[in-house]
Chain A
Amino acid sequence: MTGTMPVSRAWIAVWRRNYLVWRKLAAESVLGDIVDPLFYLAGFGIGLGALLPEVQGVRYVAYLAGGTLCYSTMMAASFEALYSGFTRMHVQRTWESILNAPVSLEDVVLAEWIWAASKSFLSGMAVLLVAVALGLARSWTMAFVVPVAFLIGLCFSGLGLLVTSAAKSYDFFIYWFTLAITPMMLLGGVFYPVTGMPGWVQLLAQVLPLTHGVALARPLLLGRWPDAPLAHVAVLLGYALAAMALALRIFRRRLAS
């Protein structure tokens, strides 16, 4: 009986709603997705590349490409799940109108999760495109970066929705960006390896999900096979599922009051 199932195909209609909004500004959005990492890689690659000719056996700009891909995906997922998600849930009351249709809260939350992951996936793919165009990624192993980017998207969309579920206003998101996103950017291995840092920093880095995304994407982009790939996948997936399970509980309580 479909009536008792929490998730139905209706989630696709909700995903398509967000897609239709995105499509209206798709040209600008894709342009930003491509130009932003292009400048990033060119600027840091040329600037820092002059000081650091090689990192872990590759040119600095090639080293940076994998980190940038993960970082861009994380940021896109976070902005969508936090600011846009909160707007749809709270400010515009879009969820409220959807829930009056034969759509469950589980459908809506699933759609938001997959949507934010999809949008961030596109950002990740734009970086991949730039990396290929700049000749930074040449090996067939980069094909695996495609599912990895989507997984990173799912992870940070899930965490982002968890933050949104507890948010009273947009101001609340500063905590997430300051206390989670910034440390991840600095300790997740985006710009430099953490292997040379003190032991406790390395331990902390291992707890951060971005570290595991970078540990997968960077070697794959450089034509190497990551160490312990399944462990990294498990961490990203674990964060994603745990965050979503908790977010859904909070959303249920929030929307039933």
Chain B
Amino acid sequence: MTILAARAVRKSYGGREVVAGLDLALARGECFGLLGPNGAGKTTTLRMLLGLVPPGGGDIALLGHPVPREAREARRRVGVVPQADNLDPEFTVRENLLVYGRYFGLAPALLARRIPELLEFAALEARADSRIEELSGGMKRRLVLARALVNDPDLLFLDEPTTGLDPQARHLLWERLRLLLHQGKTILLTTHFMDEAERLCDRLMIIDQGRPIAEGSPRELIARHIEPEVVEVYGEGAGAWLAANGPACCARSELHGETAFCYVHDPGPAMQSLRGAARVRFVHRPANLEDVFLKLTGREMRE
């Protein structure tokens, strides 16, 4: 069953096309990742899908409701984790959940039952009466996730959910998100952390300048767009090594500063030549989603 469908969605701001024709279809229970560099149009897309920004063109159906016309009805069954923490600093942890539940028109008795469950899910039972400013970054993020679950949604929108978190906090959040997927919730995730997308998502779409440039499962994308293995070479000698051995050893290569990326089907020749090379360090690893991402969107900074 399609839980979210978008067709030919576009949006321009002041003549600049931010989203230039996007098609999406999310099946119930899957995790779909929307990846792209900063400014690729990820957040604008999410805001259009939620009915917060009118699309410049195209059709959107969110949980069967046409958006933006019936966006409010559709949002009854949706939870949102926004990019920036916008918890209510005037309230305690518990009050944040209570007040947010009221926006959904949830009955006081239902909220009284659900709030302790959400606190447990977010591992914040001991912090129920703390003020928001007393929480760590990871705790705030977990509370934002708990808040997004207050209406027991079918579909979750997560906009860069782990940006700014330390590794412990990220792993804890990922574990919770996997738990939600096991419970049958559908997730639409935007991120620019490729490991996050690879761990959580069943399907991905990479967008750049508002256009889709690749779509598929993480494995498919790696298999389709890139050689299976990578030898990364660092150090002053990396450039010289690549110039001398690249054509013979690498199926494809790139040099950035003092790092050479040698993409290979068979790492044997490259590894052999590197053992004798001077002033280099190297690592051999399987190709990952980040390699695909960088190949497709380029390595220059996006600001």
Chain A residues within CB distance 8 Å of chain B: 1-4, 8-10, 13-14, 16-17, 20-21, 24, 92-94, 96-104, 255-257
Given A24-B90, A93-B84; A10-B103 close (CB under 8 Å): yes
B residues in contact with A99, CB < 8 Å: 52
CA distance A1 to B66 in the complex (A): 13
- Judged by DSSP, the binding face of A is helix
List 8 additional contacts besides A3-B70, A16-B99, A93-B86; criterion CB under 8 Å: A3-B65, A20-B95, A94-B86, A97-B88, A100-B78, A101-B75, A102-B75, A257-B13
Q: Which of B71, B72, B84, B91 contacts A8 (CB 8 A)?
A: B72
Q: Which of A3, A17, A102, A104 contacts B99 (CB 8 A)?
A: A17
A residues in contact with B52, CB < 8 Å: 99-100, 255-256
Q: Which of A2, A17, A96, A101 contacts B73 (CB 8 A)?
A: A2
Given A14-B103, A102-B76, A256-B52; A96-B69 close (CB under 8 Å): no
Q: Cβ of A17 and Cβ of B72 under 8 Å apart? A: no
CA distance A21 to B104 in the complex (A): 19
Q: Cβ of B104 and Cβ of A102 under 8 Å apart? A: yes
B residues in contact with A16, CB < 8 Å: 99, 102
B residues in contact with A1, CB < 8 Å: 70, 73
Q: How far is the CB of A31 from chain B (nearest CB, A)?
A: 20
Cross-chain pair count, CB within 8 angstroms: 77
Interface centre among B74, B75, B88, B103 (most CB of A within 10 A): B103
Q: Which of A13, A93, A94, A102 contacts B72 (CB 8 A)?
A: A102
CA distance A65 to B89 in the complex (A): 38
Q: How far is the CB of B75 from chain A (nearest CB, A)?
A: 4
Q: Cβ of B86 and Cβ of A101 under 8 Å apart? A: no
Interface residues of B in 34-82 (CB under 8 A from A): 50, 52-54, 65, 69-76, 78, 80, 82
The answer, yes or no, to whether B100 is at the interface (CB within 8 Å) is yes
A residues in contact with B84, CB < 8 Å: 93
Closest A residue to B88 by CB, please name it: A94
Q: How far is the CB of B51 from chain A (nearest CB, A)?
A: 9
Closest A residue to B95 by CB, please name it: A20
The answer, yes or no, to whether B105 is at the interface (CB within 8 Å) is yes
Q: Cβ of B103 and Cβ of A3 under 8 Å apart? A: no
A-B pairs, top 3 by smallest CB distance, nearest first, are A3-B70, A101-B103, A3-B73
Q: Cβ of A103 and Cβ of B72 under 8 Å apart? A: yes
CA distance A248 to B90 in the complex (A): 25
Q: How far is the CB of B29 from chain A (nearest CB, A)?
A: 22
CA distance A93 to B69 in the complex (A): 24
B residues in contact with A24, CB < 8 Å: 90
CA distance A39 to B100 in the complex (A): 40
Closest B residue to A98 by CB, please name it: B103
Given A20-B91, A97-B82; A256-B53 close (CB under 8 Å): yes
Given A93-B86, A102-B75, A104-B72; A13-B65 close (CB under 8 Å): no
What are 19 A-B contacts with C-beta separation under 8 Å?
A: A2-B73, A3-B72, A3-B73, A16-B102, A21-B90, A93-B84, A96-B82, A96-B86, A97-B86, A97-B88, A97-B100, A100-B50, A100-B75, A101-B103, A101-B104, A102-B76, A102-B104, A255-B52, A256-B52
A residues in contact with B13, CB < 8 Å: 257
A residues in contact with B76, CB < 8 Å: 102
B residues in contact with A98, CB < 8 Å: 103
Given A20-B91, A102-B75; A13-B69 close (CB under 8 Å): no
A residues in contact with B105, CB < 8 Å: 9-10, 13, 102
Closest B residue to A2 by CB, please name it: B73
A residues in contact with B72, CB < 8 Å: 2-3, 8, 102-104
Q: Which of A13, A94, A256 contacts B102 (CB 8 A)?
A: A13
CA distance A37 to B73 in the complex (A): 46
CA distance A1 to B52 in the complex (A): 19
Q: How far is the CB of B178 from chain A (nearest CB, A)?
A: 23
Q: Cβ of A3 and Cβ of B104 under 8 Å apart? A: no
Closest B residue to A12 by CB, please name it: B102
Q: Cβ of A92 and Cβ of B53 under 8 Å apart? A: no
Q: How far is the CB of B243 from chain A (nearest CB, A)?
A: 49
B residues in contact with A3, CB < 8 Å: 65, 69-74
Q: How far is the CB of A153 from chain B (nearest CB, A)?
A: 22
A residues in contact with B102, CB < 8 Å: 13, 16-17
Q: How far is the CB of A224 from chain B (nearest CB, A)?
A: 43
B residues in contact with A21, CB < 8 Å: 90-91
CA distance A20 to B96 in the complex (A): 11
CA distance A11 to B14 in the complex (A): 32
B residues in contact with A14, CB < 8 Å: 103
Closest A residue to B90 by CB, please name it: A21
Closest A residue to B14 by CB, please name it: A257
A residues in contact with B82, CB < 8 Å: 96-97, 100
B residues in contact with A4, CB < 8 Å: 69-70
CA distance A14 to B102 in the complex (A): 8
B102-113 interface code vs A (CB 8 A; 1 in, 0 out): 111100000000
A residues in contact with B147, CB < 8 Å: 97
CA distance A94 to B99 in the complex (A): 12
CA distance A100 to B100 in the complex (A): 10
